[in-house]
Structure 1
């Protein structure tokens, strides 16, 4: 996926919620029956936070699920995309536009910071993690989610592409976090993407790479591909 950290390409990709919704809609639990989104939410809820910051909030669905479970929580969601901020605000979650490497909040302001499937996009990962550390109170928890190098790799290969190796993946996320946090735990979860037909798979690929969508060989019937995700907590 070219341009995974390129600001101009990311702005185009997330100019609306359509691409994100297209990708999200195909995913379900893997062999263990575990949803990584549920696992991430459980990690947040286990902290019993009073104040939560989410960076890269996307459409706001995760934020809404946490505020539904914790009605008294002070939850602030941020995203670089105006469309994502608007979608989150429409779900009645306070949201504002902000960059992960320049958070407009005071030191030690939050009990929990969440980054769900977005740290592979930030141009300067260490700068973003320094900001996360800064706005967390002493003893606060950082909860993050990401994908592994082999995430949906079989589909990418079928389209003539290669597995997506990023700066913050299942394979290297713990090492990156250990530069800024004393204790890091990682839980790996296998998921499944189900495509009812070839057009559905091509639409998924087109949401981030029209080139791969165009080169995916036609197939009949439905297909399922493995996804590899990780949930990380850092103290």
Structure 2
């Protein structure tokens, strides 16, 4: 998928019409040199806010929501996504979930004390509109917790396949500035991860989840390979 296609409705419907693509992507990631998982840091940031009510936009399969609810059983957690398949997956895990766009959330002002946007703000058609909406539903003093990828995320793999780094509208390099338009205090932590593929076929399958042309163009290689990923976890108040 090219950067200009990352926010088109048709592309998103195709990308997230089922959970298989996300499962393929999630399965290759391991901690990098720090030994730190971005998902663990993300969850920790949510829990550090001592949430009583949480909204997550672009919830995906619902596994992050479920992991927070397991630690804080009495939290009022609501997950949203544009994809009915993702909402169904989250609901199957016992997560209250509903189909809703990020820029038009069906909740009153100042409803939640924590909002979560994990690896999804590069998809929204109007980033500022989505951030305004998140600000609207947060209570005074509430916190937005965000995860996104950097411009060099898996860049070596993409270049090997004849592509270019995937520079989106919300990479980690610009995320702090973007959040600062709507929130007064932003923290930022960069985390290096590793994507490990057991063989060429596994790498091809990964690329095929977002760009069939790149998957076909990846030159053959023997044995396993590992590539660096670049992720950031941010909080905004």
> One fold, TM greater than 0.5?
yes
1:170 alignment counterpart: 172
Q: What is the distance in 1 between the residues matched to 2:120 and 2:172? A: 13
1:156 alignment counterpart: 158
Q: Does 1:82 align with 2:84?
A: yes
SS at 2:202's partner residue? Answer: helix
Q: CA shift at 1:9, angstroms?
A: 1.1
1:191 alignment counterpart: 193
* Matched pairs, number: 235
Out of 130, 134, 137, the position equivalent to 1:135 is: 137
After TM superposition, which residue ranges in structure 1, 4 or more long, deviate above 2 angstroms?
none
Q: What is the distance in 2 between the residues matched to 1:131 and 1:86? A: 24
Out of 10, 15, 18, the position equivalent to 2:17 is: 15
1:58 alignment counterpart: 60
| Superposition TM-score, scaled by structure 1 size | 0.99
Structure 2 unaligned residues grouped into runs of 5+: none
The Cα RMSD (Å) is 0.4
Q: What is the distance in 1 between the residues matched to 2:213 and 2:235? A: 35
User: CA-to-partner distance for each residue in 1:83-126, whole Å, 9 max, x for gaps?
Assistant: 00000000000000000000000000000000000000000000
The residue correspondences of 1:1-235 to structure 2 (distance < 5 A) are: 1-2=1-2, 3-235=5-237
Q: What is the distance in 1 between the residues matched to 2:17 and 2:115? A: 24
| Superposition TM-score, scaled by structure 2 size | 0.99
